[in-house]
């Protein structure tokens, strides 16, 4: 039964990820929205849905320790594993707005999350502030899109494929409906993928924090991996990188924020002494990579993957010592 769930989840993820990228690209063409903004909003919220739902559900079901581990582990996986794999498929071009605005916001959100966690708890008022951060970010992206929409037609540096142009001829309602359906498919695919592993880890006596950092974090990052990999394969690098940075921001603002607004979230000592250092350090490293020639080269993808493997090896050592 578990192998059937795994296969079904994998198929659902691949198919849903393909449709999510296809319809999101069509929305960008139809509404003359820069692909990076689509990645930061529609795609990132869609692929962040598993993290948000898994975190909130863990808090409601009396396992709040999973939530913080899930957010930290997912953010590390997004930038180290997913961006690394994406860059190996195709070097990722860096939009200037990502470097000037979105990456600093992601880094600031990470630091605020760390400051709030210093007393080994995320309080309800701190969760509410994180949710307000998400609302402020959406407002900023709305006005940024208004400015981008007012740009002269043809100034965007994009080459739309015949398939994308065909999809963009559909009505906006159909395209948004397709994005919603694809996001739902990503959620159920990741849910099926992680369920068996989560139960197995619990049976082995692994702590909630470790489960959140590894099994849940990887499982909920699979939608980002699929969507970003497909975006890179289809030569939509702006969509891929915007998706990952946006997902990390929304993981903190919404997954942790909504969960902490419901119930105070305990923060494991390991998170403060090790995991948050890794999350912030990888975010800084990606920023430096983005500054270097405005491109995430394949060799940078290899470095990110090595960093993720080192981190997981350390976590594996921690599990073995339990």
Per-residue pLDDT of the chain (322 residues; tens, 9 = 90+): 655 665 676 667 667 766 776 777 777 777 777 767 776 776 776 667 767 776 777 777 777 777 888 889 889 999 999 999 999 988 988 888 788 888 999 999 999 999 999 999 999 999 999 999 999 988 887 787 677 665 544 444 444 445 555 566 677 888 888 878 877 877 787 677 666 655 655 666 666 667 667 666 776 677 778 777 877 777 776 677 888 898 899 899 988 999 999 889 989 888 898 999 999 999 999 999 999 988 999 999 999 999 999 998 887 665 445 4
Are 57 and 187 spatial neighbours (Cβ–Cβ below 8 Å)?
no
232-290 pLDDT, tens digit per residue, is 777 776 677 888 898 899 899 988 999 999 889 989 888 898 999 999 999 999 999 99
- How far is 216 from 131, CA to CA, in rounded Å? 22
Mean pLDDT computed over every residue of the chain: 78
Let me know if residue 27 belongs to a domain. Answer: no
Let me know if residue 133 belongs to a domain. Answer: yes
Structure tokens that stand for 4 in this block: 């059937």
- How far is 106 from 182, CA to CA, in rounded Å? 25
> Which range marks the domain in which residue 286 is found?
36-150+194-320
Let me know if residue 242 belongs to a domain. Answer: yes
Let me know if residue 160 belongs to a domain. Answer: no
Let me know if residue 9 belongs to a domain. Answer: no
CATH number at residue 85: 1.20.1420.30
- How far is 254 from 128, CA to CA, in rounded Å? 10
Our count of domains for the chain comes to 1
Q: C-alpha distances in angstroms, 32 versus 28, 36, 147, 200, 277? A: 5, 12, 11, 47, 39
Let me know if residue 20 belongs to a domain. Answer: no
Let me know if residue 172 belongs to a domain. Answer: no
Let me know if residue 82 belongs to a domain. Answer: yes
- How far is 184 from 186, CA to CA, in rounded Å? 5
Beta carbons within 10 angstroms of residue 288's beta carbon? 9
């Amino acid at each position: 039964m578990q192998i059937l769930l795994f296969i079904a989840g994998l198929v659902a993820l691949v198919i849903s990820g393909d449709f999510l990228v296809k319809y999101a690209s069509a929305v960008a063409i139809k509404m003359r929205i820069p692909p990076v903004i689509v990645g930061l909003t529609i795609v990132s919220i869609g692929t962040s849905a598993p993290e948000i739902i898994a975190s909130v559900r863990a808090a409601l079901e009396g396992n709040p320790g999973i939530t913080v581990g899930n957010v930290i582990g997912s953010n590390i996986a997004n930038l180290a594993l997913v961006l690394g794999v994406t860059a190996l498929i195709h070097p990722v071009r860096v939009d200037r707005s990502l470097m000037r605005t979105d990456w600093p916001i992601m880094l600031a959100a990470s630091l605020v999350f760390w400051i709030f966690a210093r007393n080994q708890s995320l309080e309800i008022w701190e969760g509410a502030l994180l949710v307000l951060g998400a609302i402020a970010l959406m407002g900023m992206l709305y006005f940024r899109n208004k400015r981008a929409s007012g740009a002269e037609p043809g100034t965007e540096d994009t080459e739309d494929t015949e398939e994308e142009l065909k999809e963009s001829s559909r009505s906006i309602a159909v395209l948004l409906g397709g994005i919603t359906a694809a996001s739902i498919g990503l959620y159920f695919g990741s849910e099926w993928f992680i369920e068996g592993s989560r139960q197995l880890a619990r049976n082995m006596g692994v702590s909630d924090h470790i489960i959140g950092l590894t099994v849940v974090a990887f499982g909920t990052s699979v939608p980002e991996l699929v969507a970003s990999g497909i975006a890179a394969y289809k030569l939509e690098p702006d969509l891929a990188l915007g998706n990952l940075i946006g997902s990390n921001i929304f993981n903190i603002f919404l997954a942790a924020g909504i969960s902490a607004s419901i119930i105070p979230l305990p923060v494991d000592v390991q998170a403060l002494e090790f995991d948050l250092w890794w999350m912030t350090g990888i975010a800084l490293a990606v920023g430096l990579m983005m500054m270097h020639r405005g491109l995430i080269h394949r060799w940078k993808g290899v470095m990110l993957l090595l960093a993720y493997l080192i981190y997981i090896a350390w976590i594996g050592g921690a599990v073995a010592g339990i």
